[in-house]
A and B are shown apart, each in its own frame.
Chain A
Amino acid sequence: MPESFRLRASNYSLLTLRLLTGRIEEVLPALGDQFQKAPGFLRFAPIAIGLDELGDDRVDFPALIQGLRALEILPIGVTGGTQMQRAAAAGAGLPTLRPAGQKETEVQAPAPVAAPPVAMNPPPAAPAPTPAPLAAAARTLVVEQNIRAGQRVHAQGADLVVIGTVNAGAEVIADGNVHIYGALRGRAVAGAGDDGEARIFAQIFDPELVAIAGFYAVRDGLSGTPIGRGAIVRLEGEQLRFSPIG
């Protein structure tokens, strides 16, 4: 039987949203205000919910998840908190995350959480396939303009659809698939969160570089691919495969 998956442990930098109160009706508007000032900030960013500062407060996790998603923030788990809180979170689909460097046995006790470094960019893609976050499938970032030299669009935890051209010197990145309805003349990176199932679709395929889950090809290596035509790029094992569309 050919190998169908591999399990690897990986460390990720995650943003933690530390709740200072269990009253989410106060948390969500305050977050919304802040995000209105910086539109696009953290868009589709996966985030951990820190429960250490809560004491025994109860949290309405389903409502919190719904509210965060409405703000285009994707909660993926909780850290710290009491057993009760963690159980409530697990009931709402948020598993308990272990901060890196801690032993498993210590997870039982509410542990102090070191604030992880803020990472807006994905960690350098290493060839260690891990399952993509489930939320990714449901999310798509649509850009309806040409992407010009020097511009960079990153769809975190999402697919990216570009209706327009990605010019030479521009870069589009998605944790999911990349679709370009126009010409791809710059760089396209799909599966930036190490999702080897991600693909790149381009109506006119003429790229500087394409990469999926850390495996890349530069233009010099693209002879024999459907240059100038519609193309799909996918990953087979450790090889990028190129096929024409239509």
Chain B
Amino acid sequence: MAQVIVVTSGKGGVGKTTSSAAFATGLAQRGKKTVVIDFDVGLRNLDLIMGVERRVVFDIVNVIQGEAKLNQALIRDKRVDGLSILPASQTRDKDALTREGVQGIIEELSKEFDYILCDSPAGIEKGALLALYFADAAVVVTNPEVSSVRDSDRILGVLQSKSKRAEEGKEPVKQHLLLTRYDPARVERGEMLKLDDVLEILAIPLLGVIPESESVLKASNSGNPVILDSDSPAGQAYADAVARFLGEEKPHRFIEAEKKKGFFGRLFGGRAA
């Protein structure tokens, strides 16, 4: 049986799709057969971040409505073996998704894949509820900022009450915190919430801290998941997070501000990218 992971946040723009793309790619890099589903019907982005937008023929709504077979809609990644993308529809809205339809897709994907990642839309409406309904595990993407933390708290409550596991009284959805866009220097200046503050409020295990990094935007615009950029701190941080998800022990990095550069460093050193 495949494990179903929802990547969710409540709030928009915190890095769900970036994290979904990086996480799925990372799992596949480690030999896990992985498919990532874009649940943001109407605002599809995942295909752009994954760099497959020119190969989209059918999408999840076509499959649910019986207009295409699942295999016709799945896009195989050309960079990493065992990685597939199921894109969202650009032209429909979230009402085109049904619980039965999603269930059918997840059951069929379970036969072929080890991990099914569901990239949730923002909000707590139908699309987000369907994305998390079948989850075994949740990666809650949060920025070090009060409104993001509040919305993550809300979505954790929704996971506790509205997931299939909750409704059937099974073992609860396993929750992981992924703190993204973390800038230790701004934390030190008191402009961002501290990691410890976020952990205290949300009270779930920390999967990883992804530092704010220019490489993320560059990666998104070029359609290469940032985890493929193993030189960038963000790429390394995602690789660590995937390793931790698979049970490895990795010390957390990118939490402390870098030491002030010396005179020569300031003179010659560029920015960390």
- Residues of chain A in range 17-75 having any CB-CB distance to chain B below 8 Å: none
CA gap between A149 and B158 in the complex, in Å: 10
B150 at the interface (CB under 8 A from A): yes
Residue of A whose beta carbon sits closest to that of B151: A149
B153 at the interface (CB under 8 A from A): yes
Known: A150-B158, A151-B157. Is A168-B150 also a contact (CB below 8 A)? Answer: yes
CA gap between A165 and B157 in the complex, in Å: 13
> Are B203 and A169 closer than 8 Å at their CB atoms?
no
Nearest chain B CB to A203's CB is how many angstroms away? 14
A156 at the interface (CB under 8 A from B): no
B177 at the interface (CB under 8 A from A): no
B57 at the interface (CB under 8 A from A): no
Chain A contact-residue range equals: 10 to 19
A82 at the interface (CB under 8 A from B): no
Residues of B within 8 A of A146 (CB): 203
DSSP class of A's interface residues: helix, strand, loop or mixed? loop
Residue of B whose beta carbon sits closest to that of A145: B160
Residues of B within 8 A of A168 (CB): 150, 153, 201
Chain B contact-residue range equals: 10 to 19
Residue of A whose beta carbon sits closest to that of B169: A39
Residues of A within 8 A of B153 (CB): 148-150, 167-170
CA gap between A101 and B186 in the complex, in Å: 64
CA gap between A149 and B10 in the complex, in Å: 11
* Chain A-chain B contacts (Cβ-Cβ < 8 Å), number: 31
> Are A165 and B154 closer than 8 Å at their CB atoms?
no
B50 at the interface (CB under 8 A from A): no
CA gap between A149 and B202 in the complex, in Å: 10
C-beta contact mask, B168-211 vs A, less than 8 Å → 1, else 0? 00000000000000000000000000000000010100000000
C-beta contact mask, A131-152 vs B, less than 8 Å → 1, else 0? 0000000000000001011110
C-beta contact mask, A145-164 vs B, less than 8 Å → 1, else 0? 01011110000000000000
B97 at the interface (CB under 8 A from A): no
CA gap between A168 and B203 in the complex, in Å: 13
Known: A168-B150, A169-B150. Is A150-B203 also a contact (CB below 8 A)? Answer: no
Nearest chain B CB to A35's CB is how many angstroms away? 16
B156 at the interface (CB under 8 A from A): yes
Residues of A within 8 A of B158 (CB): 150
C-beta contact mask, A96-119 vs B, less than 8 Å → 1, else 0? 000000000000000000000000
Residues of A within 8 A of B124 (CB): 150
Residues of B within 8 A of A148 (CB): 153-154, 156-157, 160
Residues of B within 8 A of A150 (CB): 124, 153-154, 157-158
Residues of A within 8 A of B160 (CB): 148
A149 interface neighbour in B154, B161, B203, Cβ under 8 Å: B154
CA gap between A185 and B154 in the complex, in Å: 14
Nearest chain A CB to B147's CB is how many angstroms away? 10
CA gap between A168 and B201 in the complex, in Å: 9
Residues of A within 8 A of B203 (CB): 146, 165
Give the one of B151, B154, B158, B161 with max A CB within 10 A: B154
Residues of A within 8 A of B157 (CB): 148-151, 170
- Residues of chain B in range 115-164 having any CB-CB distance to chain A below 8 Å: 124, 150-151, 153-154, 156-158, 160-161
Residue of B whose beta carbon sits closest to that of A151: B157
Residues of B within 8 A of A151 (CB): 157, 161
Residues of A within 8 A of B161 (CB): 151
CA gap between A170 and B156 in the complex, in Å: 12
CA gap between A68 and B158 in the complex, in Å: 32
Residues of A within 8 A of B201 (CB): 165, 167-168, 185
Q: Can you list 27 A-B contacts with CB-CB less than 8 angstroms, sorted by A residue number?
A: A146-B203, A148-B154, A148-B156, A148-B157, A148-B160, A149-B150, A149-B151, A149-B153, A149-B154, A149-B157, A150-B124, A150-B153, A150-B154, A150-B157, A150-B158, A151-B157, A151-B161, A165-B201, A165-B203, A167-B201, A168-B150, A168-B153, A169-B150, A169-B153, A169-B154, A170-B157, A185-B201
Show the binding face of B for A, using Cβ within 8 Å.
124, 150-151, 153-154, 156-158, 160-161, 201, 203
Q: Besides the contacts A150-B124, A170-B153, what 20 more A-B pairs have beta carbons closer than 8 Å?
A: A148-B153, A148-B154, A148-B156, A149-B150, A149-B151, A149-B153, A149-B154, A149-B157, A150-B153, A150-B154, A150-B157, A150-B158, A151-B161, A165-B201, A165-B203, A167-B153, A167-B201, A168-B150, A168-B153, A170-B157
